[in-house]
Amino acid sequence: MRYRKSLALILLAVCSLLLATGCRDSRTIPVANGRPQLTIMVGGLEKVIYLPAMLTRQLGNFERNDIDVKLLGEQSGATAETALLTGDVQGVVGFYDHTIDLQAKDQCLRTVVQFAAVPGEVELVSTQDAETIHSPKDFRGKNLGVTSLGSSTDFLTQALAGQEGLQTSDYTRVKVGAGQTFIAGMNHNGIDAGMTTDPTVAKMVTSGDAEVLIDMRNEQGTRAALGGLYPAASLYMRCETVDSHPEIVQKLVTSFVQTLQWIKTHTPAEIAAEMPSQYAGGDPELYVKSVGDSISMFNGDGLMKREGAENVLRILGRYSRNVKPVRDRIDLDATYTNHFAEQALKQGAQ
């Protein structure tokens, strides 16, 4: 009896220590006043490619589906996935390709709602380098901007160069983040070209500081650049969380599908008007333009196209150092599900 009591005290002490040090169980979702409390990290809240995240909050769709959602901004998708794996957040709005990359590392992440079948990314070239850089063939010896090493922009940059026969040793990938840090990198000769999204694209092209080299904001440009679709912006979660809380995941997915449907029936100006005023950066007209240039990328239904998932695996299988050695054992079915979006559509997500 004394032994059992001592053992119980030891276990209690260990549990207390784990709680104190912040260890979290990713399968647990806090509940307050009967409503699930979720934290979602977004790989750049102000980026138009991730606009559905903030717009869902602004439209009140989370509350309409009886969940409370806190959105956190993080410019790097690679950093966001780390926060998900450590249990600091329950979901990430980022690129689908992270689910494949992490499976190669024996981690299970699953996309539960797909926002788009294209990246929404643009390869910009600085105006002063536009005469010498006409395509990825000209990347040799150049400094190319990516959000961070290991990010989706890094994968895509390697793919664009690799399809022209270039190795990573033929050019330099430079971490420049997004927004103002990207702009500074290009304007101060830190990079010759780089991959970014709206509203940064609209700002740099309008100012005359950069030109569009490759446009992956639409299906035609994406197929030309990458040989097929490349589903990107999505909500992905740990598989354990999805499997243990399907009813909460359904509420979350329904919220996003409602927003994707709303986007398809409203103009860029109407969409921009719903976003926080600071996103316009003091130039509302330019922000409306940036929304208009990218908004066609969103699919309106939250569904993943199998063709796109297969093309992502094909590209990562060639250019991701993590995926390439284990490409043949990647289980695509484990990286995404259309179940929740289909249920939302059946229920009439409107």
Residues 6+ apart with CB under 8 A from 104: 320, 322, 323, 325, 326, 330
Per-residue pLDDT tens over the stretch 266-304 = 999 999 999 999 999 889 999 999 999 999 999 999 999
How far is residue 194 from each of residues 33, 227, 287, 338, measured CA to CA in Å? 46, 20, 21, 33
What pLDDT, on the 0 to 100 scale, is given for residue 9? 46
Residues forming beta bridges with residue 40, ordered by sequence position: 71, 91
Would you say 80 and 62 are in contact if contact means Cβ atoms under 8 Å apart? no
Q: 10-residue block means of pLDDT along the chain (350 residues)?
A: 44 40 60 94 94 98 97 78 89 95 96 98 96 96 93 92 94 94 94 96 96 97 96 97 97 98 98 96 94 96 98 93 94 98 85
Would you say 336 and 253 are in contact if contact means Cβ atoms under 8 Å apart? no
What pLDDT, on the 0 to 100 scale, is given for residue 180? 93
Other CB atoms within 10 A of residue 152 CB: 27
Q: Domains of the chain (ranges plus CATH)?
A: 29-118+231-347 (3.40.190.10), 121-216 (3.40.190.10)
What pLDDT, on the 0 to 100 scale, is given for residue 81? 79
Classify 29 in phi/psi space as left (phi over 0), alpha (psi -120 to 50) or beta.
Answer: beta
Classify 36 in phi/psi space as left (phi over 0), alpha (psi -120 to 50) or beta.
Answer: beta
Q: β-strand 233-238 against 109-114: which pairing, if any?
A: antiparallel
What pLDDT, on the 0 to 100 scale, is given for residue 1? 46
d(CA 75, CA 172): 20
What pLDDT, on the 0 to 100 scale, is given for residue 16? 40
User: Residue 7 corresponds to which tokens in the numbers above?
Assistant: 């053992």
What pLDDT, on the 0 to 100 scale, is given for residue 321? 86
User: Residue 174 corresponds to which tokens in the numbers above?
Assistant: 């430079």
Per-residue pLDDT tens over the stretch 173-230 = 999 998 999 999 999 999 999 999 999 999 999 999 999 999 999 999 999 999 999 9
What pLDDT, on the 0 to 100 scale, is given for residue 320? 86
